[in-house]
Homo-oligomer: A and B are copies of this chain.
């Protein structure tokens, strides 16, 4: 019998969430029943999309339930197994995050082959955020030779991979992020024109100076003024992959208005929203490409790590304050 601490949704946030919306609770985890495994989580992820699940609204994933542990990606180690498919010591990936340990049917977790990468990479550049960048650039934005690429939220988990994939493929990359430390990170990963949007009174002007001949692809993580700058800087036929609009996630109404959308007509732009889970068919190609890029030393990861399950709400809230450089993670063991 183990004790596991977990984070539950205590109340639904209105606007920006706060610590009061979460509560820490402890539960007993019995020995695994036949067919089950018992897992101790090593790492869990917090991601901006989770904000949407805190609302009681129909969306592409169902809302979190009040009084229950939150869910999300995690990597852990099997500590006891009552199923032949897994044994103690196996690393597994699951959607049972926001808790220290759990029992689950063996089929509900996925054995993790790390191929020499650290396990937490599979919550970041080698996992869902990495696949999101890959899908967004290659399928949604239909990246092609010569495209000039603008990435917002460029120092984040998805954005930093998007920038690196675009550089690997030989593109000129403009990346925006907030603050000098993030801009330095963007230089480190090869971004040609890092923009500190917090230091720019005129973001549109900054993007247009960075891309005097315009942008062909925009990878959208932020929304608002970033989208407006991209519309202004876009070339004829530019493609926008709409991945996230973190600036709107805590809005209590319909978010800030985006002006200049009429430019999409004169410029024949294509704007496509996407959810990575609809593109799981690209996982195998992504894993192959990623292995090559890692082997060639072309993929750098940066992580911002908080420690202990009790810090998970703080890690999540930090996403909306721009506290994370690269992937925000919580180390549980």
Contacts and interface: CB of A to CB of B under 8 A. Distances in A.
Interface stretch (A10-18, A100-108, A266-274): A266-274
Given A60-B236, A236-B60, A272-B270, A254 B260 contact: yes
Given A254-B228, A256-B259, A275 B264 contact: no
B275 A223 contact: no
A9 to B, nearest CB: 19
B258 A268 contact: no
Given A257-B258, A259-B256, A264 B242 contact: yes
Interface residues of A, number: 37
Given A227-B261, A245-B261, A266 B275 contact: yes
Contact of A259 (B257, B267, B273): B257
A244 interface: yes
A108 B269 CA distance: 30
A43 interface: no
Interface in A277-333: 278
B268 A275 contact: yes
A248 B52 CA distance: 31
B265 A259 contact: no
A30 interface: no
Contacts of A256: 257, 259
Contact of A261 (B52, B223, B249, B262): B223
Given A264-B273, A270-B270, A271-B271, 5 more contacts: A59-B266, A255-B262, A265-B273, A268-B273, A269-B272
